Structure 1
Amino acid sequence: MSEAIKQQLEQEKSSWFYKVGVTFLLAILLGWSSSTFQINRVSDNGLDIAKNIISGIFHPDRRLLFNFTKTGISYLVLETICIAFLGTIVGAVLAVPLSFFSAVNIVPKPIALAVRWVIMAIRTIPAFIYGLMFIRVTGPGAFAGVLTMSVCSIGMLSKMFIETIEDLDVRIIESLDASGCNTFQKIRYGIIPQLSPDFISTVIYRFDMNLRDATILGLVGAGGIGAPLIFAMSSYRWNEVGAILTGLIICILIIEFFSTKIRVRLARG
């Protein structure tokens, strides 16, 4: 038996032991995790509530759905979109300088690591906690939702922006430098064309996420459609819940359609 065959057999044997070990570890983790769950029997009252929920969702309140006043679905959905949009824009503006100060190919490594620690600390706190904090400061309303979306957007956008900045093609900048371009021209023709497609695509993706998060933040009084949704659910007005969910689904589908078109066009240049 040749030496190459022996090495191949040893590699297959070690690979087999590795796969068995990983499978055994996953089985232990799965068993330990499932031990924390308690499955309770669904009561008859629970089944009735489930039927009412399904019936209300498929039979939405049309008066609320086609109400164009400030208490109607259209206005509440528009307010939610505005909260998500403004929060995304403000978060993106704040994330850009943080991203440049966190890129190791732009600033010294100690400074980049320090700023990355700040970004990581921002990302650690959930959006729900930020919402409760800002409501205490500004009071209930859409402004608290905008502040919450802004701070929450900084963490993710900065992380994605850093990866894009560190993947810059420095040869383009060097060629512009050799051509006698000044700093503004190198930024205008060498850096911005490389960064803008990925930056815009990331911001659009974050806007999709913020639109869903803005709905949840409304549950704590941070504006948008979340508060009417939780009030309707607490009062068992499932027809209103169905109307609100219908408005949200239509809104998200429309935004998802246009955002996908924009991202595809950016990807294709």
Structure 2
Amino acid sequence: MNHIEKQLLTAPRNHLYLSFIAAIVIGLFLWSLTAVNVSNIEEGGLAIARNILYGLTHPDTELLFNVSRQSVLFLLAETLAIAFLGTIVGAFLAVPLAFLAASNLVPKPVSWITRLLLIMIRTLPALVYGLMFIRVTGPGPFAGVLTVGLTSIGMLAKLYVDAIEELDKRVLESMTSVGCSTLDKIRFGVMPQLLSVFASVMIYRFDMNMREASILGLVGAGGIGAPLIFAMRGYKWDQVGSILIGLVVLILIIELLSNQLRAKLVKG
């Protein structure tokens, strides 16, 4: 038995505290069960559930594999383009905001105001931004790109700020001692330390934006969401199955590629 295991075994156990927490969790679980209502499940509902399962397991292969503008492949490509362009827009706009929000680079009032702006950006959900941009630009992929870009700014800037505030200050102090300007310090002292972190965060956000872009179609902001909801409302479960299969395969591929890229950036 090593030293760590001995310390673990000899550590005092607060059984009263653990029992209290367990009682709260069990109580909340039992209280949540009161909201479960199975009496509304009728025979018609079970039949619909069987139709949904059959449609998902027997997808419309023509819709899945043809190359028309209404096909799954085209809609997935449009969704991918919305997520990619939106991520690029959000990543570039988040950089100056992150530097303005970093308390170790700018005065406290400027940092506080910028952080407040970023909190306000993160407050509204993507669907609300999508509805607003549709009113401005009209329905279509462009509104989706603007929505994804704006919603990406809040999260990316926050993670950028965390990376900026963890910089090695000795590099900046040495550059200050030789008379470097603020721009020189950012260009030669800050950015080389941050590029890999920024790229890793941007890849992670792109993975999230793929899911958001697939939902934005529900409000008319382009992508695969609108055909999905129309197929569900029309009870065309074979079309729903083909759309979901294409979406799942695309997201799995992006997940694998993004994990590999982030791993290489961390090693680099």
Q: How does 1:140-151 map to 2 (within 5 A)?
A: 140-151=139-150
Aligned to 1:203: 202
Distance in 2, Cα, partners of 1:29 & 1:112: 40
**Normalized against structure 1, the TM-score is what?**
0.88
Q: Mean alpha-carbon deviation: is it higher for 252-261 or for 214-223?
A: 252-261
Residue 69 (str. 1) matches residue 68 (str. 2):
yes
Which amino acid is 1:123 matched to? R
Letter in 1 for 2:261: I
Partner of residue 167, structure 1: 166
Q: How big is each residue's C-alpha offset from its partner over 1:138-190, in whole Å with a ceiling of 9 and x where there is no partner?
A: 22111111111111111111111111011001112233445665655533332
1:114-159 CA-partner distances (Å, limit 9, x unpaired): 2111111111111111112222222211111111111111111111
Give the secondary-structure state (helix, strand or coil) at the position aligned to 1:71.
coil
How far does residue 231 in structure 1 lie from its aligned partner after superposition? 0.8
State the match for 1:221 in structure 2.
220
2:59 maps to 60
Change over 3 Å in CA distance of 1:36–1:199 after alignment to 2: same
Q: Name structure 1 gaps, 5 residues minimum.
A: 1-11
Structural RMSD (CA): 2.2
Q: 1: distance between equivalents of 2:196 and 2:188?
A: 14
**Percent of aligned pairs with the same amino acid:** 53
Q: Give distance in 2, aligned partners of 1:21 and 1:178.
A: 57
Q: How does 1:1-269 map to 2 (within 5 A)?
A: 15-178=14-177, 183-269=182-268
- Distance of 1:181 and 1:103 partners within structure 2: 19
Q: Which residue identity does 1:221 align to in structure 2?
A: G
CA deviation after TM superposition for structure 1 residue 73, in Å? 1.2
Distance in 2 between residues matched to 1:164 and 1:214, nearest whole Å: 27
Residue by residue over 1:54-104, the C-alpha shift from the partner in whole angstroms, topping out at 9 and shown as x without a partner, is: 221121111111111211111110100111111111111111111111111
In structure 1, what residue type is equivalent to 2:68?
Answer: T
Q: 1:94 to 1:22 in 2, by over 3 A?
A: same
Mapped partners of 1:74, 1:199: distance in 2: 31
- Aligned residue for 1:89, secondary structure, equals helix
Gaps of 5+ in 2: 1-10
Q: CA deviation at 1:31?
A: 4.5
